[in-house]
Amino acid sequence: ATDPVKSRASDPTRVRPPWRMEEVSEVLDAATSSRDMDAFLHVMLHTGMRPGEALALRWEDVDLQARRLRVTGTLKEERRFLPDGQTVVRLVRNEPKTASSRRPLPISDALFEALERHLMHRSVLQMTEGPGWQDSGYVFTTSRGTPISMSNHRRKFKKFLQEIDVRYIRLHD
Q: What is the pLDDT along the chain (173 residues), one digit of tens a residue?
A: 445 555 666 666 667 888 999 999 999 999 999 999 999 999 999 999 999 999 999 999 999 999 999 999 999 999 888 888 888 888 999 998 888 889 999 999 999 999 999 999 999 999 998 899 999 999 999 999 999 999 989 999 999 999 999 999 988 87
pTM: 0.85
Which pairs from 60-66 meet CB under 8 Å and 24+ separation? 60/137, 61/139, 62/107, 62/115, 62/139, 64/107, 64/112, 64/115, 64/116
Q: Dihedral sign for Cα 30, 2, 53, 135, please.
A: positive
Rounded CA separation 145/100 (Å): 30
